[in-house]
């Protein structure tokens, strides 16, 4: 994986994350997932002009977020 973060900065970041409690890290990760889900929904709705049913939107969200986890 390519990164523009230097080794020292990466180590500091990793150390800061590991200094947090497991509960805090879990809350942070679920918050990030919730934010990503909102952004994906908004992007899909904007690209479709808000014409999708709730079922179609759920399907599109699933495909956008997990498509690469499945083989054709």
pLDDT of residue 57: 94
Confidence of residue 50 (pLDDT cuts 50, 70, 90): confident
Q: Inform me whether the pLDDT recorded for 72 exceeds 90.
A: no
DSSP structure string for 6-68: -HHHHHHHHHHHHHS-HHHHHHHHHHHHHHHHHHHHHHHHHHHTT---HHHHHHHHHHHHHGG
Q: Say what the pTM is.
A: 0.73
Confidence of residue 56 (pLDDT cuts 50, 70, 90): very high
Higher pLDDT pick, 70 / 1 = 70
């Amino acid at each position: 994986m390519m990164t523009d973060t230097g080794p020292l900065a990466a180590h500091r970041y990793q150390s800061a994350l590991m200094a947090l409690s497991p509960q805090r890290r879990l809350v942070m990760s679920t918050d990030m997932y919730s934010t990503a889900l909102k952004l994906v929904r908004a992007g899909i709705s904007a690209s479709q002009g808000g014409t999708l049913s709730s079922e179609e939107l759920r399907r599109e969200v699933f495909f956008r977020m997990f498509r690469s986890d499945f083989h054709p």
